[in-house]
Amino acid sequence: MAGILAWFWNERFWLPHNVTWADLKNTEEATFPQAEDLYLAFPLAFCIFMVRLIFERFIAKPCAIALNIQASGPQIAPPNAILEKVFTAITKHPDEKRLEGLSKQLDWDVRSIQRWFRQRRNQEKPSTLTRFCESMWRFSFYLYVFTYGVRFLKKTPWLWNTRHCWYNYPYQPLTTDLHYYYILELSFYWSLMFSQFTDIKRKDFGIMFLHHLVSILLITFSYVNNMARVGTLVLCLHDSADAFLEAAKMANYAKFQKMCDLLFVMFAMVFITTRLGIFPLWVLNTTLFESWEIVGPYPSWCPRTIEVTLSLAQMRRTLNPQGKTPTLQQPPMVPVVPTGTC
């Protein structure tokens, strides 16, 4: 097991050349992200889950009732031990052959059995009230974390110039605000993972489980190898559209159709702008190609990225007297004349 972990956390893969995990240990002068910091996300995820239960019961539910959203669910299927066993242990969608067998066994007509299975499937769907409360909780969290992210990032230099994501990398100190932002986001996704097993299971259970798992892995790995600066940009961009989506769902559950349509259009505009525009053209443009080594030809259509990449590669070809590759330091404030556009 130790060999597998040593292979997985190979410094040649995760860190720049001649940089080791020991170099990123905390000192009296600076604090760096540590893998053990992420253990804090588990108790915090439990706290977030408990806050969600309190919020949905004492805040979201009264709001839903005030909007005339009823708690009544679908029609309950009549109790039947044989059909319930088939439903839970064999299939929720019996074929024609099985329906005929159940019809003879129960002395029911096929249509009655089909109706029973349809009603039983609908019982597993959450009520409109439950879905409204869940959307209101997510809307509140996304709005809070996005607002916090914007307030935090507007004070950082890498929001205005993404080259600062890589100046002096990986020796970038960890600030309290950045640590809180990352742990809060990670805890929220862990709470979503936990709640999937306690909530009513839906058709997209597997897809959402995979989504939460990938999100947790990306947040974890970007924190451990101190790519947190660019990680905060990605988190803030992705949170910007989620609040509009949850607000549109809430309007739909409350039967405010015009407001729902307006909010969904706003969601689509923000989603396309941030994830299909700003993210690839602004964030990826200065992170994907600013790699630790230049491998193969570089894109001729992106001179701004190449300038930083070449500078980084050139510095890493020359070792300092201590045998370590110098990291990219912030250059003097000299105007740079662009040679093209990205």
Predicted local confidence at residue 38, as pLDDT = 94
CA distance 16 to 152: 27
Kindly state the average pLDDT of the residues 16-42. 90
Q: What is the mean pLDDT of the chain?
A: 82
Predicted local confidence at residue 236, as pLDDT = 95
56-69 residue pLDDT tens: 999 999 999 999 98
**45 token code pair:** 């995820």
Predicted local confidence at residue 286, as pLDDT = 66
Instruction: Show the DSSP H helices in the chain as ranges.
Output: 2-8, 11-14, 41-55, 61-66, 81-89, 96-106, 110-123, 128-153, 157-160, 176-196, 205-224, 228-253, 257-273, 303-316
Residue 36 above 60 pLDDT?
Answer: yes
How much is the pTM? 0.78
- Is 210 buried (19+), middle (13-18) or exposed (0-12) by CB count in 10 A? exposed
Contact between 286 and 162 (Cβ < 8 Å) = yes
Contact between 238 and 275 (Cβ < 8 Å) = yes
90-144 residue pLDDT tens: 888 888 888 889 888 888 888 888 888 888 888 777 888 999 999 999 999 999 9
Predicted local confidence at residue 229, as pLDDT = 93
274-315 residue pLDDT tens: 999 999 888 887 666 554 333 233 333 333 443 444 444 444
Give the rounded percent of residues in the chain with a pLDDT score beyond 70. Answer: 82
Residue 334 above 80 pLDDT?
Answer: no
**166 token code pair:** 């890589």
Kindly state the average pLDDT of the residues 328-337. 46
Residue 235 above 90 pLDDT?
Answer: yes
Residue 268 above 50 pLDDT?
Answer: yes
CA distance 136 to 147: 16
Residue type, 91: T
CA distance 168 to 333: 16
- Is 256 buried (19+), middle (13-18) or exposed (0-12) by CB count in 10 A? middle
CA distance 284 to 233: 10
Contact between 228 and 174 (Cβ < 8 Å) = yes
Other Cβ atoms less than 10 A from the Cβ of 184: the count is: 18
Residue 337 above 50 pLDDT?
Answer: no
197-213 residue pLDDT tens: 887 677 788 899 999 99
CA distance 52 to 198: 13
Predicted local confidence at residue 219, as pLDDT = 96
Contact between 166 and 309 (Cβ < 8 Å) = no
**Residue 335 — very low, low, confident or very high, per pLDDT cuts 50/70/90?**
very low
166-190 residue pLDDT tens: 888 889 999 999 999 999 999 999 9
Predicted local confidence at residue 86, as pLDDT = 87
Return the sign of the alpha-carbon dihedral for residues 229, 234, 240, 244: negative
**Residue 318 — very low, low, confident or very high, per pLDDT cuts 50/70/90?**
very low
Instruction: Show the DSSP H helices in 274-338 as ranges.
Output: 303-316
Residue 338 above 50 pLDDT?
Answer: no
Predicted local confidence at residue 17, as pLDDT = 80
Residue 336 above 80 pLDDT?
Answer: no
3-state SS assignment for residue 34: coil
Between 15 and 306, the more confident residue is: 15
Residue 230 above 70 pLDDT?
Answer: yes
Predicted local confidence at residue 73, as pLDDT = 64
Between 8 and 198, the more confident residue is: 8
Beta-carbon-side half-sphere exposure of residue 335 (alpha carbons within 13 Å):
1
Residue 77: phi, psi to the nearest 5?
A: -70, 140
**243 token code pair:** 């609040």
